[in-house]
Amino acid sequence: MWTRFFAATAVATVVWAITTQVALAADEIHEGKVVAVSDGKITVFDKRDSENDTFVVTADTKISRNGKPAKLSELQAGDMAKVTATSQGDKLIAKEIVAAAPE
């Protein structure tokens, strides 16, 4: 009986650890000027860390420009952008891009 209890406890602990790691992959907010837009990627000069950050844009990425839904190809270098992203390995995956043309 104790063997089953300890086995069940060990399994529950492993499941908890895996679930916690997935939950800790929190979204990151990056804001700055769009430097480049290419097929499936956008590069933004992140004013927080003063570095160019390149994001992978997927079919699930929500994109808007000037308050209207947009395609990646409609974004332009010089636009200001707020990118909500998540890390997957060494890549940043854009979940949402909110861009605005410079004034």
Query: Tens digits of per-residue pLDDT, 7-53?
Result: 556 555 555 455 545 444 689 999 999 999 999 999 999 988 899 99
Which CB contacts under 8 angstroms, 24+ apart, belong to 70-76? 70/99, 72/37, 72/40, 72/42, 72/97, 73/37, 75/34, 75/37, 75/42, 75/99, 76/34, 76/37, 76/101
CA atoms within 13 A on the CB side of 11: 6
Residues 79 and 100: beta-carbon distance below 8 Å: yes
Residue 23 located in a structural domain? no
Q: What is the extent of the structural domain holding 40?
A: 28-100
Q: Into how many domains does the chain fold?
A: 1
Residue 18 located in a structural domain? no
Residue 10 located in a structural domain? no
Name the percent of the chain lying above pLDDT 70: 76
pTM: 0.75
CATH of the domain at 33: 2.40.50.320
